[in-house]
Structures are given as C-alpha cells and as structure tokens.
C-alpha cells in the first residue's frame, strides 16, 4: 500500500499563549497502511510507526480504526481490540528490553492526556513501533487502517515524564493474560497482583487502567506507605458486536490527571491489584495500568492530592454468558486427546469422565490456543503452533471452548460427567 500519510492539522496554541511566543501545540495525524483482517478473524502484528520528525513533546495521543475513506469503524466492523505504542531502542521502565511502551489503548479507548506543562519527550531521530490487534466482526475480509492523533508541543521546555507500565503478569511474556477460574458465588471476586519497586522518586501525573470482561477494578497501591492512591474502574454498555468473538470488555476505564501528582519515593513498592468477578470464568483476562512519572524529590509517603478523575459511569460487570460463535459439529468422541490445527480442533464434541486429564496436541502452521468461554472453570492454553497442553477436568459440567485467534472457526464443547 501507499506511504504513511502525515497531516499537520492545527497550530493554534501560540495564538492564545502570548507569553510563550514560540510555543506551539500541533495536532499530528498518522495513518498506517491497510491491515487486512479475515472474516470473523483477528489480525495482530508489530510494525514500525510513523512519528513526529522534529523534536518536541507528546502531550496527548489517541488511536482509532478507520476505513479507506477515513470513516471511523464501529465495534461491529473492524474493532480496535488493542494497540501498544513503544519507542524503539529505549528500555522499558518496568520490563527493560529494546522498546519503551508509552501508550496503549483497548476497547476502553483510553486516551493519553497529560496535565498542562508535562510532556513525553520525543526527538526527530526517535523511532516508534506499534503492536496492534484488530478483530473483524463481518463475514467478509475487511481492511482496517489505524489512525492515531498526536498532540505535540514544540518550542517550549516541558517537565518530562516517563511512562511506567504496570502489569499483574509483571513482564512474563508477550501475551500478558491470566485466567479467572470462576465458579464462586454471586459477587465473589478474584484478585491478581504484582509489585514493582520504584527506582527513583517523583510524582505520578497521569494514569489509567485496562481490564477485560468481568473486571471490577484495578488498584494502584503503595505497599510501602499502606495507601491506595488510585483505582481505575470500568464502565459497561454500548452496542455489542454480532457475533460476539470475545467477552465484551469495558467501554471506558477511569483515568486521572494531576499536575501536583501522586508522590512516590525511590524504594516504594507499588502494588498493582486487579479485582475480577469470580462468579463466572474469565479466561485470558488482563490487568494493566499505565502511569506517567515526573521524576523529582518528594516527601516520603506524602499525601495524594485531589486528582482530576475522568470517571465515566463505573459499575460492576454485568452478568454474562458467552455463546460459542457456532455450534460444535460431529459425533461425540470419548477420546482423551485431540489435535489442534489450521483451523479446527480434531474433535469438536467430547464426553469425559470427571477427573480425566485431556490433551490438546498443536500442529498448526499458525498459532492457536484453547480458551474456555463458559463452563464450571475457566482456563486457557497459550498461543502456540506445536507442543501439547493438558488439563485435568475436576469439575463436572459443560465447557464451551474456542481458539481466541480464530473464534468463528475453531470451537469445541467438552461435557464432563
Ligand atoms: Cu486458531
């Protein structure tokens, strides 16, 4: 496809900030080449991303999926499942490595918006990468284009911020998911947490969370000080795509901004604690919080200032039972193993005795997985092309399973008696 396009749309800030005569805030819009997504399918890939080619500061960032005409796509067409932006060659704050994650959004459409006076420094020579996952809810192959809009300040020194990516999986792999088992009483919850020790002091001036379906809240705790300065909470609702290809996630997560900032000190143990509904299984859940730190001296365990919180309409996750996108076919098998290939499970209907250990043997030319979407217990196998995954069915009931990467094609139902 054609080259990346850049549009410089607005250059207005200088007009109403006479004291900062050369300061300019521009809105830069970039669009990726076409990304083709198969019918009812998922496309995910890392790619290089166009970035501002002059020195300045990112003060805001949003992304959306558009069609070839530039029209924003609804969740019922090519949906932005999630996207992560990273600066290549700069180590990540929490995980190290070769890229610094500085922005992400998912279904909740979290937008980066820093308080006035703060910015994420960017040089003309910096290179950005992005990692996308798009989901097509239509029966035909569609092209999606990721359009991202950067608010960018030049000609003015801002207070630099560093992105801190907290994840309950704590740097344990490229697909940071975990399974909420479910099976608890109504209103019961499941908590997964991880801690990160701050290597420096400063103030957290912005932050927001990411949860999947079933999420109740994700808390930022300071375990050293015994405080919970912020909790990001989900808003639910809005139109649901058909067919459902995964459990619907929050349509918004609360986020905060504060120029005064949440003080954190070198050595403080930050604890990210995700709370999920445990009355039903939620396989392949996530819990992330992206924070922006303005380094500097602070009072140890100082008070959290009043935060400007973009709250949304937080609520408990709605009760939900995920149907399979299609009915499993074929005669009922009593075998205790099956293959997983392109693009089906060897046996789609299986009957087992309670206590049986079942084996899935992967032999695909592309990655697949095993994801429980409904049943007595939630579990999942990671994305893979080879090897085997085993699970012992200790609880009786009907397990509805699909491949989260090929949800409309690869379904399986296992009945345990
Ligand atoms: Cu698959």
pLDDT in tens, the chain (417 residues): 333 343 333 333 334 444 444 789 999 999 999 999 999 989 999 999 999 999 999 999 999 999 999 999 887 889 888 899 999 999 999 999 999 999 998 888 888 899 999 999 999 999 999 999 999 999 999 999 999 999 999 999 999 999 999 999 989 877 899 999 999 999 999 999 999 999 999 999 999 999 999 999 999 999 999 999 999 999 998 878 878 888 999 999 999 999 999 999 999 999 999 999 999 999 999 999 999 999 999 999 999 999 999 999 999 999 888 899 999 999 999 999 999 999 999 999 999 999 999 999 999 999 999 999 999 999 999 999 999 999 999 999 999 999 999 999 999 999 999
Q: 386 C-alpha to center of ligand 1: Å?
A: 12
Q: 408 C-alpha to center of ligand 1: Å?
A: 9
Q: 109 C-alpha to center of ligand 1: Å?
A: 26
Q: 322 C-alpha to center of ligand 1: Å?
A: 18
pTM, two decimal places: 0.91
What local confidence, expressed as pLDDT, does residue 3 receive? 39
SS (H, E, C) the chain: CCCCEEEEEEECHHHHCCCCCCCEEEEEEEECCCEEECCCCEEEEEEEECCCCCCEEEEEEEEEEECCCCCECCCCCEEEEEEEEEEECCCECCCECCEEEEEEEECCCCCEECCCCEEEEECCCCCEEEEEEEEECCCCCEEEEEEEEEEEEECCCCEECEEEEEECCCCCCCCCCEEECCCCCCCCEEEEEEEEECCCCEEEEEEEEEECCCEEEEEEEECCCCEEEEEECEECCCCCCCCCCCCCCCCEECEEEEEEEEEECCCCEEEEEEEEECCCCEEEECEEEEEEEEECCCCCCCCCCCCEEECCCECCCCCCCCCCCCCCCCCCECCCEEEEECCEECCCEEEECCCCEEEEEEEEEEEEEEEEEECCCCCEEEEEEEEEEEEECCCCEEEEEECCCCCCCCEEEEEEC
What local confidence, expressed as pLDDT, does residue 76 receive? 82
Q: 301 C-alpha to center of ligand 1: Å?
A: 48
Q: 74 C-alpha to center of ligand 1: Å?
A: 24
Q: 225 C-alpha to center of ligand 1: Å?
A: 45
């Amino acid at each position: 496809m054609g080259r990346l396009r850049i549009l410089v749309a607005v250059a207005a800030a200088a007009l109403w900030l006479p004291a900062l005569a050369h300061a300019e805030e521009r809105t830069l819009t970039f669009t990726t080449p076409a990304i083709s997504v198969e019918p009812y399918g998922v496309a995910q890939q890392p790619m290089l991303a166009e970035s501002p080619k002059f020195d300045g500061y990112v003060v805001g960032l949003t992304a959306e999926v558009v069609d070839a005409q530039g029209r924003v796509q609804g969740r019922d067409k090519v949906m932005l499942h999630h996207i992560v932006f990273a600066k290549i060659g700069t180590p990540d704050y929490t995980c190290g490595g070769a890229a610094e994650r500085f922005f992400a959004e998912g279904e909740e459409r979290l937008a980066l918006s820093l308080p006035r006076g703060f910015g994420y420094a960017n040089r003309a020579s910096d290179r950005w990468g992005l990692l996308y996952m798009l989901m097509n809810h239509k029966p035909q192959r569609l092209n999606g284009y990721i359009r991202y809009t950067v608010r960018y300040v030049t000609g003015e020194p801002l207070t630099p911020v560093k992105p801190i990516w907290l994840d309950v999986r704590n740097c344990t792999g490229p697909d940071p998911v975990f399974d909420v088992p479910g099976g608890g009483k109504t209103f019961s919850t499941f908590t997964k947490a991880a801690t990160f020790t701050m290597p420096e002091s400063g103030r957290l001036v912005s932050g927001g969370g990411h949860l999947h379906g079933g999420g109740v809240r994700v808390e930022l705790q300071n375990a050293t000080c015994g405080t919970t300065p912020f909790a990001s909470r989900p808003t639910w609702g809005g139109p649901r795509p058909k067919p459902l290809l995964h459990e619907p996630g929050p349509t918004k997560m609360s986020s905060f901004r504060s120029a005064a900032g949440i003080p954190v000190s070198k050595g403080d143990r930050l604890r990210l604690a995700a709370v999920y509904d445990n009355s039903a299984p939620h396989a392949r859940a996530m819990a992330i919080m992206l924070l922006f730190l303005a380094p500097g001296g602070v009072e140890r365990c100082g008070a959290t200032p009043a935060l400007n919180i973009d709250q949304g309409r937080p609520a408990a996750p709605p009760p939900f039972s995920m149907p399979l996108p299609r009915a499993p076919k074929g005669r009922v098998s009593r075998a205790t193993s099956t293959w997983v290939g392109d693009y089906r499970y060897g046996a789609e209907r299986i009957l087992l005795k309670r206590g049986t250990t079942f084996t899935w043997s992967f032999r695909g030319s592309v990655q697949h997985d095993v994801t429980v979407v409904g049943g007595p217990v939630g579990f999942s196998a990671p994305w893979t092309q080879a090897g085997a995954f085993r699970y012992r069915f200790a609880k009786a009931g009907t397990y509805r399973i699909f491949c989260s990467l090929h949800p409309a094609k690869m379904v399986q139902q296992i009945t345990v008696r």
